[in-house]
């Protein structure tokens, strides 16, 4: 008998009808002879509605109370889901984060899982019940308070349960058929991937692909959990996210050079103009930025102009961090000694990800050539072992993605099917 963990997001349980549909799917998995553990998000927009309610009461809600408030959302969806399953004649029991043994640190709103002690879940499974667990929430042993894991937390809950229960697979149900070579809304010829390594998935998620949360993928990789990303709207096989180093000897499969092309339009670029080209200045600048908790991504330093002894430093960061970073830098203009600041929120980032890039040669050249042929100017470049990212103008990054997708022979034969709505 296999143990399968299934995760359903808010859009999959948005109303009573959807809950019954999901219940039916869970029962089918059970009938096929599997033990089933389900992690479920709050219904539809519940979390946002609760946040609105809190905002009406106070502009700055106490974090402990905000977690208490938000954790009510999954209690509603999980209880309804368990009821629906029971009404179909199968035993089901719902468990809160703390009942499920989801132990976290005491960081409200962004708690880290420190331990999972699923004693009650095992008991329920042994008694033949389907187990429903509240996603997104946990319990701090230290403060004895209820915590939440932050956005995308339900994916992480599912993966943590799969790891703790040694599940055979963790199925992440979403509103797309799986992981695509690129966003099908941008690149019509995007292909669904049958499998992708967790390393590639991590880079894609970090580069703007939204199908899985980076934290859940990291957790899965660290604990050897196999993910299956699939649609809750049909029964097609989705995409398996796996760690090739954990495959048994001889089971290795040939990897394609490129797994996918990701696009990110959420970043902005700050250029610090006329920085004195002396040691320690860059460190000073990025210390100032780091103190604002801004999440710096790419950094480029121009060659110093010999005549002035000054240089420009550009970096990208999430637009939402832009204002804080600019203010902090502006306040330090005299100490750092730069000339001026430029802010550009009309940039797009394109990333090419593939594990086989390590051994393949000429990938960068092929990328730059494709962009050149499409008439797209590159403003910044950064690379990791299995990724190349370039910054372009925002309004040309989609065209860039299509050109690169074609150049690397990723195009499928048919246009991809795009469902409405997005999961959480």
Site for its own copies, rule CB under 8 A = 15-16, 19-20, 50, 53-54, 56-62, 64-66, 68-69, 71-73, 75-76, 78-80, 82-84, 86-87, 92-94, 96, 99, 120, 144
Choose between 78 and 313: whose C-beta lies nearer to its own copies: 78
CB 26 within 8 A of CB 13: no
Choose between 141 and 393: whose C-beta lies nearer to its own copies: 141
CB 170 within 8 A of CB 385: no
Choose between 59 and 279: whose C-beta lies nearer to its own copies: 59
Choose between 147 and 198: whose C-beta lies nearer to its own copies: 147
Choose between 16 and 417: whose C-beta lies nearer to its own copies: 16
Choose between 55 and 253: whose C-beta lies nearer to its own copies: 55
424 Cβ neighbours under 8 A, 6+ residues apart: 9, 10, 11, 41, 47, 151, 152, 154
CB of 146 to its own copies, least distance (A): 8
What SS3 state is found at 147? Answer: strand
CB of 173 to its own copies, least distance (A): 19
Q: How far apart are CA 187 and CA 410, in angstroms?
A: 10
CB of 264 to its own copies, least distance (A): 34
Element housing 124 (H / E): helix 119-126
Determine phi and psi for 383, rounding to 5 degrees: -135, 150
Q: Give bridge partners of residue 134 from the DSSP assignment.
A: 40
CB of 69 to its own copies, least distance (A): 4
In degrees, rounded to 5, the angle at the alpha carbon of residue 321 between the alpha carbons of residues 318 and 326 is 120
CB of 54 to its own copies, least distance (A): 6
Q: Is the dihedral of CA 377, 321, 150, 113 positive or negative?
A: positive
CB of 21 to its own copies, least distance (A): 11
Q: How far apart are CA 324 and CA 54, in angstroms?
A: 24
């Amino acid at each position: 008998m296999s143990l399968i963990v299934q995760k359903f997001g808010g859009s999959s349980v948005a109303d009573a009808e959807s809950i019954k549909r999901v219940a039916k799917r869970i029962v089918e998995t059970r009938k096929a002879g599997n033990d089933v553990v389900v992690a479920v998000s709050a219904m539809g927009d519940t979390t946002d509605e609760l946040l609105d309610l809190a905002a009406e009461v106070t502009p700055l809600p106490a974090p402990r109370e905000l977690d208490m408030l938000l954790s009510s959302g999954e209690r509603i969806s999980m209880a309804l889901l368990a009821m629906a399953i029971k009404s179909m004649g199968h035993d089901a029991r719902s468990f809160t984060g703390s009942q499920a043994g989801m132990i976290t640190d005491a960081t409200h709103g962004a708690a880290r899982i420190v331990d999972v002690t699923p004693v009650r879940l095992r008991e329920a499974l042994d008694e033949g019940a389907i187990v429903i667990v509240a996603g997104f929430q946990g319990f701090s042993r230290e403060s004895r308070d209820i915590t939440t894991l932050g956005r995308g937390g339900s994916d992480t809950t599912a993966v943590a349960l799969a790891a703790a229960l040694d599940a055979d697979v963790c199925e992440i149900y979403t509103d797309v058929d799986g992981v695509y070579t690129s966003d099908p809304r941008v690149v019509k010829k995007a292909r669904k991937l049958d499998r992708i390594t967790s390393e590639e998935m991590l880079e894609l998620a970090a580069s703007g692909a939204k199908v899985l949360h980076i934290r859940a993928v990291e957790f899965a990789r660290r604990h050897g959990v196999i993910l299956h990303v699939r649609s809750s709207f049909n029964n097609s096989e989705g995409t398996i996210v796996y760690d090739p180093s954990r495959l048994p000897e001889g089971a290795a499969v040939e990897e394609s050079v490129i797994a996918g092309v990701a696009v990110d339009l959420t970043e902005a670029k700050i250029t610090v103009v006329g920085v004195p080209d002396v040691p320690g200045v860059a460190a000073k600048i990025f210390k100032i930025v780091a103190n604002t908790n801004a999440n710096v991504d790419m950094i480029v330093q121009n060659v110093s102009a010999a005549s002035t002894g000054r240089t420009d430093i550009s970096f990208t960061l999430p637009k939402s961090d832009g204002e804080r970073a600019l203010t902090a830098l502006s306040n330090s203009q005299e100490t750092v000694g730069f000339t001026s600041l430029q802010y550009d929120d009309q940039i797009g980032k394109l990333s090419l990800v593939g594990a086989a890039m390590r051994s393949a040669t000429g990938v960068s050249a092929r990328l730059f050539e494709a962009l050149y042929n499409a008439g797209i100017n590159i403003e910044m470049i950064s690379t990791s072992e299995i990724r190349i990212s370039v910054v372009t103008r925002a309004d040309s990054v989609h065209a860039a993605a299509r050109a690169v997708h074609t150049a690397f022979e990723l195009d499928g034969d048919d246009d991809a099917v795009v469902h409405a709505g997005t999961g959480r």
